[in-house]
């Protein structure tokens, strides 16, 4: 295998690999701005320039493929002097915004300035400023902070498939903007904030909520559709503040769609039912479970389970349903018009899929059939879901008992609601559309009095069927 030497370390590489990635593998950091592994290479910022023996000029590491026997120095005097010069050049027009900038703490410009820049500026001229432009509901633009790396332009054109970001004017007057100042159109706009190496493009949804260093991070999987994109949930004080993509070259590469990224809002929403309720009023777990059993006693029950529930939860329900309700039917639900994997298909050319639940394939593998409406004549329904599955129309069903994540308006007609956990409050397995098993990881504790499905079914199985009896009769039974 071909080998090159980076800062004295010999390293093997495969043809086509660039020097930034090879150096990263052996723990050598080469600073960069315009390079992004998911985008084309343009070599415009010059921050990554390194010295290569037998080459008279510095070479940009992002655009230089390694060759056998190549000897590279990333920390030579010439390379370090170039890094200092580039930092000074990029900061000539950069505002002193770090204390009020949402990107602080995770900003490439801030970090590279600290590690590779000089502590002093030689300029005192006023900074260039731009007017603000509204880019739509997802992204807040602040062009005073832009370093013209063009990652955003390339993301739109190469990944999102929309040429919506452009550079207008030239030289010192260059400005990144949308064509005609229009709002962003792509359903993947949140990625602009992820890839921008400065605070020029930030998420409206997140800005000024939390400092980046306050967030606790959990690696998990998006529940927004059957694709199973890898994501990280970031929370503080048991409140989810944002979700960002985790690279997985076989599923989502570096990206998330906006639907999946912002789906988490229901988890901490004030209208979510987080205490057991019976006939619309809050009650204790014991009374609510007893009332639920009473409501369904002796009835022919349809058990409807969201295909947003995990494999572990599905297996519990498959065991529970026939024991608790002999003769009952168990069906899964999730997306209107998509009751089987054969109906699931790509919803666009990038990531999104038609099934809006994460575990349709898993439920099907366990042999449960799907439905998106209630069979005529259904008298009683026990509906269980994680939070994402879309409820079928339950009008006309005389008895509804709900377990899981619901908001007040969704289950206003339910006799009893027993609050369960969302994808972010539990561990479990989901199976994506192509059969890939992935783990959901718990990132926050169950909100309010919500319980895991296993606990709820345990309570159900081991509690009395009617409302709690007076102490006298309990004593009588014991005697």
Q: Is 35 in the site for ligand FES (CB under 6 A)?
A: yes
Tell me the two tokens of residue 411.
Answer: 């289950």
Nearer to ligand SF4 among residue 260 and residue 370 (C-beta): 260
- Name the binder of 382 from ligand FES, ligand SF4, none, CB < 5-8 A by kind: none
Distances (CA, A) of 195 to 136, 154, 192, 203: 18, 10, 5, 12
- Stretch of residues binding ligand SF4 (CB under 6 A), selected from 227-235, 277-285, 422-430, 468-476: 227-235
Q: Is 227 in the site for ligand SF4 (CB under 6 A)?
A: yes
DSSP assignments along 127-143, one per residue: PP-----B--SSEEE-G
Size of the site for ligand SF4 (CB under 6 A): 27
Beta strands in 175-238 (DSSP E): 175-178, 201-203, 216-221, 230-236
Residue of 176, 316, 400, 457 that binds ligand SF4 (CB under 6 A)? 176
Residue of 20, 72, 256, 316 that binds ligand SF4 (CB under 6 A)? 256
* CA–CA dist 253, 437 (Å, integer): 17
Nearer to ligand SF4 among residue 87 and residue 351 (C-beta): 351
Segment holding 394, helix H or strand E: none
Q: Could you give the 3-state DSSP secondary structure of residue 253?
A: strand
Q: Is 94 in the site for ligand SF4 (CB under 6 A)?
A: no
Q: Is 360 in the site for ligand SF4 (CB under 6 A)?
A: no
Distances (CA, A) of 312 to 362, 370, 446: 10, 18, 17
CB of 41 to ligand FES, least distance (A): 7
**Positions in 421-440 near ligand FES (CB under 6 A):** none
Residues ≥6 apart with Cβ < 8 Å to 216: 234, 235, 236, 443
Nearer to ligand FES among residue 34 and residue 143 (C-beta): 34
Q: Could you give the 3-state DSSP secondary structure of residue 296?
A: helix
* CA–CA dist 169, 148 (Å, integer): 12
CB of 47 to ligand FES, least distance (A): 5
Residue of 201, 288, 381, 418 that binds ligand SF4 (CB under 6 A)? 201
Residues ≥6 apart with Cβ < 8 Å to 458: none
Nearer to ligand FES among residue 82 and residue 424 (C-beta): 82
* CA–CA dist 111, 93 (Å, integer): 17
Nearest one of 104, 256, 259 to 192, comparing CA atoms: 256
CB of 84 to ligand FES, least distance (A): 16
- Name the binder of 411 from ligand SF4, ligand FES, none, CB < 5-8 A by kind: none
- Stretch of residues binding ligand FES (CB under 6 A), selected from 44-52, 168-176, 200-208, 394-402: 44-52
Distances (CA, A) of 346 to 85, 259, 308, 438: 47, 15, 18, 19
Are the C-beta atoms of residues 226 and 355 closer than 8 Å to each other? Answer: yes
Beta strands in 281-409 (DSSP E): 281-282, 301-306, 329-333, 369-370, 380-385, 399-404
Q: Is 151 in the site for ligand SF4 (CB under 6 A)?
A: yes
Beta strands in 45-94 (DSSP E): 49-52, 59-60, 71-73
Nearest one of 455, 454, 444, 400 to 422, comparing CA atoms: 444
Q: Is 148 in the site for ligand SF4 (CB under 6 A)?
A: yes
Residue of 47, 107, 196, 382 that binds ligand SF4 (CB under 6 A)? 196
CB of 475 to ligand SF4, least distance (A): 55
- Stretch of residues binding ligand FES (CB under 6 A), selected from 46-54, 308-316, 362-370, 458-466: 46-54
What binding mask, one character per residue, do residues 54-83 give for ligand FES by CB under 6 A, x or -? Answer: ------x-x---------------------
CB of 150 to ligand SF4, least distance (A): 5
Tell me the two tokens of residue 230.
Answer: 């890898």
- Name the binder of 32 from ligand FES, ligand SF4, none, CB < 5-8 A by kind: ligand FES
- Name the binder of 60 from ligand FES, ligand SF4, none, CB < 5-8 A by kind: ligand FES
Q: Is 338 in the site for ligand SF4 (CB under 6 A)?
A: no
Report the 10 Å Cβ neighbour count for 120: 6
Tell me the two tokens of residue 469.
Answer: 């009896």
Residue 467 is given by DSSP the state S
Q: Which residues bind ligand FES (CB under 6 A)?
A: 32-35, 43-48, 60, 62
Q: Which residues bind ligand SF4 (CB under 6 A)?
A: 146-152, 176, 196-198, 200-201, 222, 224-225, 227-229, 252, 256-257, 259-260, 351-353
């Amino acid at each position: 295998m071909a080998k090159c030497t980076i800062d004295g370390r010999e390293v093997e590489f495969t043809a086509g690999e660039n020097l930034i990635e090879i150096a990263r593998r052996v723990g050598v950091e080469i600073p960069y701005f315009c390079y992004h592994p998911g985008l084309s290479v343009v070599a415009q910022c010059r921050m990554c320039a390194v010295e290569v023996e037998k080459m008279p000029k510095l070479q940009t590491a992002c655009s230089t493929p390694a060759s056998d026997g190549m000897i590279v120095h990333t920390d030579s005097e010439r390379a370090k002097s170039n890094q200092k010069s580039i930092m000074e050049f990029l900061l000539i027009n950069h505002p002193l915004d770090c204390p009020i900038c949402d990107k602080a703490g995770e900003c490439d410009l801030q970090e590279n300035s600290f590690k590779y820049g000089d502590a002093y500026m030689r300029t005192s001229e006023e900074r260039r400023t731009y007017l603000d432009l509204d880019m739509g509901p997802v992204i807040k633009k602040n062009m005073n902070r832009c370093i013209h790396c063009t990652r955003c332009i390339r993301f739109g054109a190469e990944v999102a498939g929309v040429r919506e970001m452009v550079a207008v004017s030239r030289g010192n007057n260059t400005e990144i903007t949308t064509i005609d100042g229009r709002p962003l159109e792509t359903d993947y706009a949140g990625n602009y904030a992820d890839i921008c190496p400065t605070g020029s493009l930030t998420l409206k949804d997140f800005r000024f909520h939390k400092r980046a260093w306050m967030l606790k991070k959990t690696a998990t999987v998006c529940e927004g559709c059957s694709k199973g994109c890898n994501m990280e949930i970031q929370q503080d004080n048991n409140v989810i503040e944002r979700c960002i993509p985790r690279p997985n070259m076989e599923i989502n590469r570096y990206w998330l769609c906006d639907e999946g990224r912002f789906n988490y809002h229901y988890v901490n929403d004030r209208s979510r039912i987080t205490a057991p309720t019976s006939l619309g009023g809050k009650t204790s777990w014991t009374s609510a479970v007893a009332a639920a059993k009473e409501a369904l006693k002796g009835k022919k029950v349809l058990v409807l389970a969201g295909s947003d529930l995990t494999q572990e939860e599905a297996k519990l329900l498959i065991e529970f349903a026939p024991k608790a309700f002999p003769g009952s039917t168990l069906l899964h639900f999730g997306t209107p018009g998509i009751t089987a994997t054969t109906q699931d298909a790509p919803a666009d050319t990038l990531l999104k899929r038609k099934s809006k639940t994460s575990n349709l394939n898993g439920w099907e593998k366990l042999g449960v059939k799907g439905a998106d409406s209630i069979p005529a004549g259904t008298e009683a329904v026990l509906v269980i879901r994680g939070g994402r599955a879309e409820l079928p129309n339950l009008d006309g069903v005389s008895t509804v008992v709900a377990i899981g994540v619901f908001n007040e308006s969704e289950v206003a007609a339910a006799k009893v609601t027993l609050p369960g956990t969302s994808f972010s409050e539990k561990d479990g397995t989901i199976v994506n559309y192509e059969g890939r098993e992935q783990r959901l990881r718990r990132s926050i504790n169950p909100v309010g009095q919500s319980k895991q499905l296993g606990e709820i079914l345990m309570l159900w199985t081991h509690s009395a069927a009617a409302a709690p009896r007076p102490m006298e009769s309990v004593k009588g039974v014991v005697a």
